Amino acid sequence: MNLARLASEAAERGHPVRVGLIGAGKFGSMFLSQVPTIAGLEVTAIADLDPDRAKSACAAVGWDEARIANTAYIDDGAALAARDDVDVMIEATGNPRAGIIHARAAIAGGKHVVMVNVEADVLAGPTLAAEARAAGVVYSMAYGDQPALVSDMVDWARATGFHVTAAGKGTKYLPAYHAVTPDDVWSHYGLTVQEAAAAGMNPQMFNSFLDGTKSAIEMVAIANACGLDVPDNGLSFPPCGVDDLAHVLRPRAVGGQLDRRGMVETVSSLERDGRPVFRDLRWGVYVVLEAPNDYAAACFKQYGLPTDSTGRFASMYKPFHLIGLELSISVLSAALRHEPTGQAREMRGTVASVAKRALKAGEVLDGEGGYTVWGKALPLSRAGAALPIGLAHGVRVTRDIPAGAVLMLDDADLSDNDAADLYRAAIAG
């Protein structure tokens, strides 16, 4: 990709790419750990609700005293977006409303945006991307996270002339996980409450990985970026190892489990009875290809690609993703090549809020990974006016909702909610 060379040349010119990071949590800290060894990239400012925590994070990942001292630490993300010493803003808060505000502030200030905040992207990504293009800056997914890695694989497949049948990632999943709350999440990770607390692990965040919400968010982000379809009835999480991707993730009409060609899907690392899947893809991403002709299908076999029984469907996969450790790819690509590493293009799906239990009018929803709702990926044509999970935090329910029901926009008090207004405009086209 020549990014290392371009970055090195920027350093030699005395004009390194200057980065402002909003959110110094795990993802941000992983990125910060790589910064000292990347020529041509500097972090000039970090915004966090607790600036001292951000400074401590820099020390924890190995920054020397000089680098720590030469970085600004503030508590206002919008103020960071307006700084003159920032070329690229990384939004890594995980808060969808904050992410939208920060992205729009950065775009207005002529800054490129790398959106780690997938929650914000599935609410308003196409709108933010359009605003960035109009302003002459880049709005990009975050390389290292699954949506950008899958987008890269899909782009590779299409640029080489293959049809993309399916794309997605792996995760640990059982149907019962949809009802898990932060109170009982750690038993599913093999940890005690004390061990998780000692490691600084957030139970609600880790529960969003388990209860299916994070997978739904990431698959919708991929669909919106790659022009793929969300399954009609939501993700089915079929158990599947890497050797069987091309067999399982092909259309039902030819013996697979997909509604049709061109779908997103998440595969489970557990069989439905809880046994581990052989050669699972829990930490990785994949794309399933269909050969456009007999000659290409013959080449699949000749060069050792795992295929289905027909030989026409083959899979490619990466067994791991390194999240923040790979984030500089997006930063350098935006600044030096003016290209995103994946970008939302259209609203093809949404992540609908489903009641984990019966909810009473007046109750306050606690959003992703919480006690009240989980997120289900749905095509926009079927979801209609469903309440997206990104708006289901800190808002009151306006009527009684039975367990298992999909909440609608009118079921929550969204008055004076700018993110809700933006979402409504986005789904209206």
HEC string of the chain? CCHHHHHHHHHHCCCCEEEEEECCCHHHHHHHHHHHHCCCEEEEEEECCCHHHHHHHHHHCCCCHHHHHCCEEECCHHHHHCCCCCCEEEECCCCHHHHHHHHHHHHHCCCEEEECCHHHHHHHHHHHHHHHHHHCCCEEECECEHHHHHHHHHHHHHHCCCEEEEEEEEECCCHHHHHCCCCCCHHHHCCCHHHHHHCCCCHHHHHHHHCCHHHHHHHHHHHHHHCCECCCCCCCCCECEHHHHHHHCCEHHHCCCECCCCEEEEEECECCCCCECCCECCCCEEEEEECCCHHHHHHHHHCCCCECCCCCEEEEEECCCCHHHHCHHHHHHHHHHCCCCCCCCCCCEEEEEEECCCECCCCEEECCCCCCEEEEEEEHHHHCCECEHHHCEEEEECCCECCCCECEHHHECCCCCHHHHHHHHHHHC
Instruction: Give the per-residue pLDDT at 427.
Output: 87
Distance CA 426, CA 429 (A): 5
Which whole number is the average pLDDT over 108-124?
A: 97
Instruction: Give the per-residue pLDDT at 254.
Output: 95
Class (C level, CATH) for 3-145+324-337:
alpha beta
Instruction: Give the per-residue pLDDT at 198.
Output: 80
Which whole number is the average pLDDT over 328-354?
A: 97
Instruction: Give the per-residue pLDDT at 187.
Output: 92
In this structure, are residues 324 and 26 in contact, taking their beta carbons and an 8 Å threshold?
Answer: yes
Distance CA 28, CA 91 (A): 9
Asked if residue 196 has pLDDT above 90, the reply is no
Amino acid letter, residue 125: G
- The fraction of the chain above a pLDDT of 70, given in percent, is 100
Distance CA 137, CA 304 (A): 41
Return the residue matching tokens 């700084």. 83
Instruction: Give the per-residue pLDDT at 47.
Output: 98
CATH topology of domain 349-428: Type Iii Antifreeze Protein Isoform Hplc 12 (3.90.1210)
Report the DSSP beta bridge partners of residue 267: 170
Distance CA 121, CA 342 (A): 11
In this structure, are residues 153 and 288 in contact, taking their beta carbons and an 8 Å threshold?
Answer: no
Which whole number is the average pLDDT over 70-87?
A: 96
Query: pLDDT of 17-45, one tens digit each?
Result: 999 999 998 899 999 999 999 999 999 99
Query: pLDDT of 242-300, one tens digit each?
Result: 999 999 999 999 999 999 999 999 999 999 999 999 999 999 999 999 999 999 999 99
User: Where do you find CATH 3.40.50.720 in the chain?
Assistant: 3-145+324-337
Which whole number is the average pLDDT over 375-391?
A: 96
Distance CA 24, CA 74 (A): 11
Which whole number is the average pLDDT over 120-145?
A: 97
N residues, the chain? 429
Instruction: Give the per-residue pLDDT at 201.
Output: 81
Distance CA 193, CA 186 (A): 6
Query: Residue 74 — pLDDT band, cuts 50, 70, 90?
Result: very high
Which whole number is the average pLDDT over 97-107?
A: 96
Instruction: Give the per-residue pLDDT at 15.
Output: 96
Rg (CA), the chain: 21
Distance CA 280, CA 297 (A): 25
- Tokens coding 332: 């350098």
Asked if residue 1 has pLDDT above 70, the reply is no
Averaged pLDDT score across all residues of the chain: 96
Query: pLDDT of 296-335, one tens digit each?
Result: 999 999 999 999 999 999 999 999 999 999 999 999 999 9
Distance CA 101, CA 151 (A): 25
Which whole number is the average pLDDT over 126-145?
A: 97
Distance CA 401, CA 419 (A): 23
Query: pLDDT of 2-14, one tens digit each?
Result: 999 999 999 999 9
Instruction: Give the per-residue pLDDT at 429.
Output: 72
Query: pLDDT of 213-238, one tens digit each?
Result: 999 999 999 999 999 999 999 999 99
Residue of 6, 24, 23, 25 whose CA lies nearest to 15: 6
Amino acid letter, residue 393: H
User: Where do you find CATH 3.90.1210.10 in the chain?
Assistant: 349-428
